[in-house]
Amino acid sequence: MSGRSRTTGSRQDRRRRKAEKRGRMAEWLAVAFLLMRGYRILALRHKTRFGEVDIIARKGDLVALVEVKARASEQLALDAVSHESQRRIRAAGDAWLSRQKQAHLLSIRCDIIAVMPWRLPRHFENAF
């Protein structure tokens, strides 16, 4: 392997690590935002064989499956959640819900929280 390939690879690794760190920070900001609005956090980065949900939060009998996107604008954040991502989030949420004792008493909703630089997070309820 040439030195150039290793440099490119390490640059990509650094970019990937930086993006992951930015994503985790955005998730924590979203958690704080939800807590301030009266939600209880039930799960963070909940993974199933069907997909992953960034945050599962509850307020009363409502369970919100929240996808968090750190982007420069609200529109970029909304556009970043593809139809395939939506399908996986719903499937993972359904799997989580099926394991809850009182699932029949809960309503489920899919939300997006956009985290943008130097702005408060924006919560899009029932986004998909």
Over the stretch 64-96, which tens digit does the pLDDT of each residue have? 999 999 999 999 999 999 999 999 999 999 999
Residue-level pLDDT at 9: 72
- Answer whether 55's CB lies under 8 Å from 27's CB: yes
Q: Is the pLDDT of residue 2 over 80?
A: no
Structural domains in the chain plus CATH codes: 3-124 (3.40.1350.10)
pTM for this entry: 0.88
Output the six-digit token pair for 98.
Answer: 């099926």
Q: Is the pLDDT of residue 7 over 60?
A: no
Over the stretch 103-127, which tens digit does the pLDDT of each residue have? 999 999 999 999 999 999 999 999 9
Which residues, at least 6 apart from 116, have a Cβ–Cβ distance to it below 8 Å? Answer: 70, 71, 72, 73, 74, 77, 122
Output the six-digit token pair for 63.
Answer: 């369970």
